[in-house]
Amino acid sequence: MILLHDVALQRLFGGLVVLLIVATVAGRLIARRARDERALTTVRNLNARINAWWVMCVIFAISVVIGPIGAVVLFALISFLALREFITLIPTRPADHRALLWSFFLITPLQYLLVGIHWYGLFSILIPVYAFLFLALRIAMSGDTTHFLERVSAIQWALMICVYSLSYAPALLGLGIRGHGTPGPTLLLFLVIVVQGSDVLQYIFGKLFGRRKIAPHVSPNKTIEGFVGGVAAATLLGALLWWATPFAIWQAGLQALIIALTGFVGGLVMSAIKRDRGVKDFGTIIAGHGGILDRVDSLTFAAPIFFHVTRFFYGG
């Protein structure tokens, strides 16, 4: 029952709930004022996002309250569903079947087991070393060499993004910080608030001030104004949350800047994949949000970088 003791965590959650209440009320007010069809569609989309946010916030809170196991299991589930969406989009062949079974039912749970027992030495190399080589071996053994390199790479990529990278988020729970013990839950919440906040802020700044497209061929909805405004606001948001973290105020701001930038790149890269595969979303599991992977795309880049930067400079 970590939430009962950790005052910083309580305040973070309290702030999040207040923010969601404000967003919900604002969404309802805007919906009442919307006149034409286009505005109404945007507002409906916005409100669907806010509703899904409530659900995600509650699930996240429950998993943190349960303790470290809760968060590890939650992210394992997210990874599994994200991997499912990713693999669906890549052109696998029947000969890959065994390699896929291993990926879903052995490598993914094993990665989270290692994260759960804080075995840094192994969870940080399981997929980039062992799974990387094993998958190539397993697919070679199947005897089907058509598009061999494309097939192997795509499955390796799926595991790296959906499982390995994402698992760095709950891995924060086992990260020791010099002079602060293991402030895991607050670090995790800091990461999630800044990365998702950055997404929302970029969306809002883009809708309000967006003029010039930043990557018209990859992600036509992203604008320079949305990017600059969103990243700046997310940096400020992170700096203002310094009191909950082991960081000084300028350090928290710098960390938030890194999170927002890597998160942006993550979204961009995942858009490139979707565009190549000819889809708009990875899935349909969350109303208003598309698939799981559409929600955590920025986290896949931000989590491992945030983990390693924090470990390098503050690890103890």
85 touching other proteins, by CB under 8 A? yes
Shortest CB 65 distance to other proteins, Å: 27
Shortest CB 83 distance to other proteins, Å: 9
Which listed residue (87, 154, 161, 239) binds other proteins by CB under 8 A? 87
290 touching other proteins, by CB under 8 A? no
Cα separations (Å) of 14 from 7, 18, 28, 58, 281?
Answer: 10, 6, 21, 12, 32
Q: And the tokens for 241? A: 């949350």
Binding mask 200-239 for other proteins (x = CB under 8 A): ----------------------------------------
Which listed residue (28, 97, 212, 277) binds other proteins by CB under 8 A? 97
Q: Give the contacts of 211 (CB within 8 A, at least 6 positions apart).
A: 223, 224, 225
Q: Please list the alpha-helical segments (H only) found in the chain.
A: 2-5, 7-33, 37-66, 68-89, 97-102, 108-116, 120-123, 132-141, 148-159, 166-171, 184-209, 224-240, 249-277, 292-314
What does DSSP assign to residue 128? Answer: I
Q: Give the contacts of 271 (CB within 8 A, at least 6 positions apart).
A: 215, 218, 219, 222, 297
Which listed residue (84, 151, 222, 295) binds other proteins by CB under 8 A? 84
Look-up of token digits 């799926």:
158
Which listed residue (94, 143, 179, 278) binds other proteins by CB under 8 A? 94
Q: Closer to other proteins at the Cβ: 147 or 308?
A: 147
287 touching other proteins, by CB under 8 A? no
Q: Which stretch binds other proteins (CB under 8 A): 81-89, 109-117, 141-149, 228-236?
A: 81-89
286 touching other proteins, by CB under 8 A? no
Binding mask 130-159 for other proteins (x = CB under 8 A): ------------------------------
245 touching other proteins, by CB under 8 A? no
77 touching other proteins, by CB under 8 A? no
Q: Closer to other proteins at the Cβ: 92 or 124?
A: 92
Q: How many CB atoms lie within 10 A of CB 97?
A: 11
Measured distance CA(127)–CA(123) in Å, rounded: 8
Query: Rounded to 5 degrees, what are φ and ψ at 315?
Result: -60, 145
Per-position b or e across 249-266, b if 16+ CB within 10 A of its CB: eebbbbbbbbbbbbbbeb
108 touching other proteins, by CB under 8 A? no
Measured distance CA(75)–CA(91) in Å, rounded: 26
Q: And the tokens for 70? A: 């809760």
Note whether 102 and 134 are within 8 A (CB). Answer: yes
Q: Closer to other proteins at the Cβ: 51 or 88?
A: 88
283 touching other proteins, by CB under 8 A? yes
Shortest CB 11 distance to other proteins, Å: 38
Q: And the tokens for 47? A: 């409100």
Q: Closer to other proteins at the Cβ: 18 or 101?
A: 101
Q: Closer to other proteins at the Cβ: 105 or 119?
A: 105
* Interacting residue ranges for other proteins, rule: CB under 8 A: 80, 84-85, 87-88, 92, 94, 97, 100-101, 104, 283-284
